[in-house]
Amino acid sequence: MELNLVMLGPPGAGKGTQARQLRRKWNIPHISTGAMLRDAVQAGTPLGREVAAIMEGGGLISDDVITHVVVERLAHPDTNGGFLLDGYPRTIPQAEALDRMLSGRAPLVVVEIVLSEADVVRRLASRMVCAECGANAIGEGPACHDCGGPLVPRADDREQVVLNRLKVYRDQTEPLISYYGNRSTYCRIDGARLPDDVTADIIKAVERHR
């Protein structure tokens, strides 16, 4: 059965880490808009050149640009059985666009991972990411768990940028909690625990709500 999942939560809540586990469980593609944009920046495509400076400062790229990227990605047949969106939507207009994209498909299941700002700042200060595959690593080293690639800090995890990303989250993304909150498919998960415990809770909640 088609499973269309959205991960919500502040930067550092564990959306990417959880999505990497969950895609294996349900065999659906993990679609991270942040990872797609970082790839575009690295490859120097026109999209990458357009968004590089905004990403570096922790701001959001325009709703139209990112929605176009997602429309194209969701048209790919590998999403026929569902998908796991990580990092989109981040604004109300994006959420409205996603609802339009999904008309006629299975209803969205929204998973909010809850983490305090103090925990976010602490986590991102020590986060490393794999330069090869993009996997997150906190308190590991020196090589990636998944592929053995080298671990490096993420350019937008510098403290000043993290504070800006948190402000952007509060102002632009947090309103999505009310946008989705009263849907019967909304799940709230405590993210301040070991990753495996968070994964187990998400699986239970999603199986109940789908």
Residues recognised as catalytic = 15, 90, 127, 154, 165
Shortest distance, position 154 Cβ to ligand AMP, whole Å: 8
Minimum distance from residue 205 beta carbon to ligand AMP (Å): 22
CB-nearer residue toward ligand AMP: 94 or 185: 94
- Closer to ligand AMP by CB, 163 or 210: give it: 163
Contact residues toward ligand AMP (CB under 6 A) are 11, 33-34, 37, 54-55, 58-61, 66, 87-88, 90, 94, 156, 165
Cα distances (Å, whole numbers) of residue 109 to 9, 46, 54, 117: 14, 33, 29, 25
Q: Which residue is nearest to ligand AMP (CB)?
A: 34
Angle at 173 between CA 144 and CA 138, to 5 degrees: 20
Least distance (Å) from ligand AMP to the CB of residue 207? 25
Give the span between the Cα atoms of 136 and 204, in whole angstroms: 23
Minimum distance, C-beta of residue 54 to ligand AMP, in the bound complex (Å): 5
> Is cis: bond before 142, omega within 30 of 0?
yes
Q: Closer to ligand AMP at the Cβ: 1 or 43?
A: 43
Amino acid letter, residue 198: V
CB nearer ligand AMP, residue 54 or residue 114:
54
- Residue closer to ligand AMP by CB (options 14, 34) is 34
Least CB distance from residue 157 to ligand AMP, whole Å? 9
First and final C-alpha spacing in the chain: 9
